[in-house]
Structure 1
Amino acid sequence: MDPIPAALAGVALSAFVSATLLPGNSEIALGAFVHAWPAWMWSAWLVATLANGAGSLVSYGMGRMVPPRPLPARTAQAFRRFGPSVLFLAWVPFIGDALPLAAGWLRLPWLSSAVWILLGKGVRYFVLIRLVEAWQ
């Protein structure tokens, strides 16, 4: 039995959970997968990026369900100044989980929010894969 589909599912689950407020270890899961199956690195990159992005979009959707209220001044200023592009930073530890939630709460456009989220997460996982390659 081929272990790759199950391992990719594990990467996906880890990446999805890591994008929520729950603790996750998507970098470890992706790094271990790429180390074990380097020929599958781009499939793993795509799976991790899409699953992590989907987790952030769930947070975005949860934010849309909350009645709009004023955000803290610094957060509101950042969203006003940069718009959905601030979601490129949705991968950053600590603040990254809150950014999609705030974007939904502020009713930022869904499609541009999704694009910026996926772009940031894709870049982060690309750098991680390159680091794993360099380490091998």
Structure 2
Amino acid sequence: MAYLTLFLTAFAAATLLPAYSEIMLGTMVTQGFSYWWLWFSATLGNTLGSVVNGIIGRQVDRFKDKKWFPISEMQLHRARNRFNRYGQWSLLLGWLPLGGDALTLVGGIMRVPWLNFVILVAIGKGLRYAFVLWLVAEASSP
């Protein structure tokens, strides 16, 4: 049940919902949970949360002309230009606390092929969680 809770927290953290999976991950490390399952649960949940962002991004063109839509045509244009500068490789930075969620949204807008999207996002997020696990394990060891 604890791993499922971590999965759901990591999933929510990758979306626009306010959640902080690193805090839960760090706490679970100090409680003796399996590092492998912690890493796997957090990485999978966070990656799938980013897939939700990609799905939302793929729907943007359907709604961009609506009055209620919160992003202007100019903002979309700038986001596309920035993304094109670095291409789909920028999805490796989808783990960043500021801008990472936006990158995965723009990856959806730019219709990055799903396999590439998932692999690049998973690599970045997996590396982040591995680093957090290492950091907490080092800090908590005598």
2:139 matches 1:135? yes
Match of 1:58 among 40, 52, 57: 52
CA distance in 2, matches of 1:35, 1:27: 12
1:25 deviation in Å?
1.2
Residue matched to 2:67: none
CA RMSD of aligned residues (A): 1.5
2:16 matches 1:12? no
User: How many residues in Structure 1 have an aligned counterpart in Structure 2?
Assistant: 129
Structure 1, gaps ≥5 residues long: 1-5
CA distance in 1, matches of 2:8, 2:124: 19
Q: Which consecutive segments of 4 or more residues in structure 1 shift more than 3 A?
A: none
Q: Is the 8 A contact 1:83 1:108 kept in 2?
A: no
CA distance in 2, matches of 1:110, 1:20: 17
Q: Is the 8 A contact 1:91 1:124 kept in 2?
A: yes
Counterpart amino acid of residue 111 in structure 2: R
Residue matched to 2:115: 111
Residue matched to 2:128: 124
Residue matched to 2:69: none
CA distance in 1, matches of 2:32, 2:15: 27
CA distance in 1, matches of 2:42, 2:116: 20
1:107 deviation in Å?
1.2
Per-residue CA distance 1:48-105 (angstroms, 9 max, x = gap): 00100000001101111121776243x3233213221101111111201111111111
Match of 1:22 among 2, 10, 17: 17
More helix by share: 1
Counterpart amino acid of residue 81 in structure 2: Q
Counterpart amino acid of residue 127 in structure 2: V
Counterpart amino acid of residue 89 in structure 1: L
Per-residue CA distance 1:9-35 (angstroms, 9 max, x = gap): 111111000000011010011111111
Residue matched to 2:68: none
2:50 matches 1:46? no
Counterpart amino acid of residue 128 in structure 2: R
CA distance in 1, matches of 2:23, 2:44: 17
